[in-house]
Structure 1
Amino acid sequence: MAHSNLSTEAFVKLGDFLRTFCDLVTTNTISDHLNDKWIERFKTEAERAQHYNGWFSEENCIHAFQEWGNALTKENIENWLKNYDLETNQEKAIALIMAGNIPLVGFHDLLCVLITGNKALVKLSSNDQKLIPLLIDYLIEIEPLFKDRVTFTKEKLENYDAVIATGSNNTARYFEYYFSKKPNIIRKNRNSVAVLNGNEPPEELKALGEDIFRYFGLGCRSVSKIYIPKNYKIDTFFEAMFPYNDIINHNKYANNYDYNKAVYLMSEFKILDNGFLILKEEESFGSPIASLFYEYYEDIDALKTYLKDQEDNIQCIVSSGFIDNEISFGKTQQPSLNDYADGIDTVDFLLRTSLN
C-alpha cells in the first residue's frame, strides 16, 4: 500500500462517519437513517455491547465513537504524522494484545500499526470483542486493501516481528518473559490523579466528575485519586459531584459501591460517602470502582517532586496551573492522537523496529 495516503483517507472517512453517527444519536434522528446499513450496524452494536460486557453502557460506547470521530480529522491526522518519516517504515507484522477495560481502548495501537504501513495480528480482549472489528469492517469497505492488513486471532500468536501488549502489572511480567526476544512495548497498570488548589470555580470541579465517572472510572486516564490542600472543605467537592448521582442506577456500579462500602466499614476505615461515591484517605493511587482516594498536601513543591518520582505509575495529572503537561478538568477521556499510553511513542517504535 503506498503507505499512507490511502490509510489516511480511509481513517478520515471513518472519522466523518463516526461524527455523523453520533450527531444522529445526539439529535435523536437516527431512526430516520436506519436504511443505511452502517448506521444500523453501529446503532445495534452500541445497544448490544452491554450484553457482552456489563460495563459497556450504550452511552459510553457512543462517547468512545464520538471521541474517535473528533480525533480522526484530516487536520488532526496530518498534524500528528508530520513529525515522522513514514517512508522509512519496513513492512512488519505487529502482534497486538489488547486491553478491554473501556470501549475501543485498543484502537489507537491498531491505528498506529495500519497508518505506518504495517500489518496487525490482533488478540482482542474478551471484554471488547465487537467494537474494534466493527470499525475495521467499515474501513475495509472504504479501502479493501485493509482486508489483508488486519487478522483477528484467538490462537497462539505466531509469525510476527514485534509486539505491543497491554495488561495488568501481573500479566506484564508474563508478557515481558514471553515476548522478550522480540521488540516490544509492554504496558502495565497506570492511574490518573487530580490536584486541587481549593479555589476551583464550580464548573471546573463539576468537569472533574467527567474524569472520575466516565467509563465508571475503569480507564487508566480515569482520575482515581485527588490531592487536596489542608483544611479543604470536602462538601465543596461532593456538591460539585452531585450531577453524576445517576451513576448509582447502573447495576454493576451499584454492586461495587455496596461491596466496597461494606468492606471499608467492616475494616473500620474512616470513609466519606455521598450515596454514590466513597472517599477514602489513602496513599496509593488505584482506588476500587465507586471509590476515590484522597490525600492532603501542605507543600505544593514537595507534591510536584513526589508525583514526578511516581511518573511511571501515573497516566494523567488533572490540574490548573500546577505543572506544564497537565490535563484540564474534564478532558482526560478526550486524548489527542499523540497522547501515547505510558508516554511511549508507538509510531516511533514501529518506524524504528526493523526486520531481523
Structure 2
Amino acid sequence: MTDLRHRLNAFVKLGSFFKEYCKYAKNKTQIDDNQYTWFVKFDEILILAGHRNGWFTPDNILFSLENWADLLALSQLESWLSSYDLNKNKPKTVALIMAGNIPLVGFHDFLSALITGNKVIVKLSSNDKILLPFIAQYLIEVEPSLKDQISFSEGKLEDFDAVIATGSDNTSRYFEHYFGKKPNIIRRNRNSVAILSGNETNDELAALGEDIFRYYGLGCRSVSKLFVPVNYNFDALFKALYPFNTIIEQHKYANNYDYNKAVYLMSLYKILENGFLMLKEDKNYASPIATVFYEFYESPEELKIRLAHEKDRIQCLVANGFIENEVTFGQTQKPSLTDYADNIDTVDFLLKT
C-alpha cells in the first residue's frame, strides 16, 4: 500500500495533468512529447464519452476537469485532510456505486476512498463509463502501487467492506436491500434551490444562470426551483439569463424543451418561457430539463422554517444574505473538497468504518 505522501503526489500530478490538458484542449498549446501522448488519448476519450452520452459535451467535461484541477493542488488537499487523523483508518475495500448524470460526478468518493488508504471497487453508471477508467490509468502510470488499489466491476459486487452508493429514491431502496448489512452511505434524490428577494443585481441573476444551465440542469447541485416574493417580476430574471440562449442549440436539450412545452400546453398549465427556459409554478423540487419550478413566498421566516423541515431534499441553497450556509450565486457547480454530498462527511465515515 502506498503511504499518504505518495497518494497525495499522485493526485497532485493528476491535477496538473487536468490543468495542462484543459489549456491544450482550448488553445492547442505546445507540450512535451510524454504529455502529448496522454493528451491525444484524452482527446479520444472525450469524444468517446460524448458519443456514449450526448449530455457530455466537451465544454461540460472541461469545466469539470478545470474545477478538479484547482482542487487537486497540494495546498487544497492538505488543508482538506488536516481536519482528520488518517492514522485511524483501517485499510478496507470500498465499493463505489456511481451515478452518471454529469461528468465525473463520483470522483469525490473515488478520491476520498483512495486518499485515506483504502482499495476501491468501482461500479460505473452506464452513462459515464469512459472517463474514470482513463483517469485511473493515468494515476497508476504516475504511482504504480495504486494498481492494486483500484478495480472496476461490471458484475455483482463481492468482497468489500463498505459501500458508498449514489442513485435515485427508487434505486436507494434496492441499495438498502442488498447493502444494508454493510457500513454504507446511500444517497437519494436531492435538488438545489434559489431564494430571490427581488433586489438581486443583474450580475447575480446572470450568475444564477450558471447554477441553472451548467450540465443542462442534470446535477443535484443544479438549481431546479426558485422561491420568489409575491408579485415578483420575472422580466429582470429573463433579461439576465438571455446570454444562455445558445443552450437551445444542443439538440437533446431542445428536444426536451419542445416535449415539455407541449405537455404543459396540452395540460393547460400556465408557464412563462423565453425560447430556451420555461418557468412553471409548482410545489415540487425536481423539475424536468429546460424547466425551473417556482413558488411565491410571503414571509421569509416561514420559508426558512419550511426549508429547514425539507433540508433532506435540498443539496444547495442559493441566496444572498438569506440563510446560514447558503451558496453564492453562480457557485453551485464549484464545490470545495469539504462540500460533501448530502452533507455526509465521506472521509469521517471511511475513517470510522
Measured against the shorter chain, the TM-score band is over 0.9
Q: Look up the match of 1:4.
A: 4
Task: Tell me if structure 1 keeps the 8 A contact 2:48–2:130.
Answer: no
Q: Look up the match of 1:117.
A: 117
Task: Report SS of the residue matched to 1:247.
Answer: helix
Q: Look up the match of 1:238.
A: 238
Task: Tell me if structure 1 keeps the 8 A contact 2:272–2:280.
Answer: yes
Which string of whole-angstrom CA distances, capped at 9 and with x for unpartnered residues, describes residues 110-141 of structure 1?
10110000000110000000111111111111
Which string of whole-angstrom CA distances, capped at 9 and with x for unpartnered residues, describes residues 181-204 of structure 1?
101100000000000111111111
Q: Look up the match of 2:203.
A: 203
- 2 CA distance for matches of 1:39 and 1:343? 35
- 1 CA distance for matches of 2:300 and 2:71? 34
Which string of whole-angstrom CA distances, capped at 9 and with x for unpartnered residues, describes residues 143-202 of structure 1?
001111011010100000010111000000111111111011000000000001111111
Task: Tell me if structure 2 keeps the 8 A contact 1:95–1:120.
Answer: yes
Matched, 1:29 2:28: yes
Q: Look up the match of 1:162.
A: 162
Which string of whole-angstrom CA distances, capped at 9 and with x for unpartnered residues, describes residues 206-255 of structure 1?
01000000000000000001111112111111111100000000011001
Task: Tell me if structure 2 keeps the 8 A contact 1:319–1:326.
Answer: yes
Q: Look up the match of 2:327.
A: 327
Task: Tell me if structure 1 keeps the 8 A contact 2:96–2:120.
Answer: yes
- 2 CA distance for matches of 1:41 and 1:298? 55
Task: Tell me if structure 2 keeps the 8 A contact 1:99–1:166.
Answer: yes
TM-score (norm 2): 0.98
Q: How does 1:122-133 map to 2 (within 5 A)?
A: 122-133=122-133
Task: Tell me if structure 1 keeps the 8 A contact 2:121–2:151.
Answer: yes
- 1 CA distance for matches of 2:67 and 2:254? 26
Q: Aligned-pair distance for 1:2? A: 4.6
- 2 CA distance for matches of 1:25 and 1:120? 30
Deviates more, 1:106-115 or 1:34-43: 34-43
RMSD, matched Cα: 1.1
Q: Look up the match of 2:177.
A: 177
Q: Look up the match of 2:271.
A: 271
Stretches of structure 2 lacking an aligned partner (at least 5 in a row):
none
Task: Report SS of the residue matched to 1:241.
Answer: helix
- 2 CA distance for matches of 1:44 and 1:63? 17
Which string of whole-angstrom CA distances, capped at 9 and with x for unpartnered residues, describes residues 59-98 of structure 1?
1011111111011111110110001110111110011100
- 2 CA distance for matches of 1:261 and 1:14? 43
Matched, 1:66 2:61: no
The one-letter amino acid of 1:29's match is: K
Q: Aligned-pair distance for 1:42? A: 1.8
TM-score (norm 1): 0.97
Task: Tell me if structure 1 keeps the 8 A contact 2:2–2:146.
Answer: no
Q: Look up the match of 2:81.
A: 81
- 1 CA distance for matches of 2:228 and 2:267? 24
Q: Look up the match of 1:13.
A: 13
Q: Look up the match of 2:140.
A: 140
Task: Report SS of the residue matched to 1:95.
Answer: strand
- 1 CA distance for matches of 2:99 and 2:146? 22
- 1 CA distance for matches of 2:155 and 2:316? 34
- 1 CA distance for matches of 2:9 and 2:109? 18
Identity %: 58
Which string of whole-angstrom CA distances, capped at 9 and with x for unpartnered residues, describes residues 8-60 of structure 1?
1111111111111112233x124x44951111122222233210101101110
Task: Tell me if structure 2 keeps the 8 A contact 1:318–1:329.
Answer: yes
- 2 CA distance for matches of 1:90 and 1:339? 24
- 2 CA distance for matches of 1:251 and 1:268? 25
- 1 CA distance for matches of 2:16 and 2:220? 27
The one-letter amino acid of 2:334's match is: Q
Task: Report SS of the residue matched to 1:259.
Answer: helix
Matched, 1:260 2:260: yes
- 2 CA distance for matches of 1:231 and 1:42? 50
Q: Look up the match of 1:349.
A: 349
- 2 CA distance for matches of 1:46 and 1:239? 33
- 2 CA distance for matches of 1:126 and 1:115? 25
Task: Report SS of the residue matched to 1:315.
Answer: strand
The one-letter amino acid of 1:46's match is: L
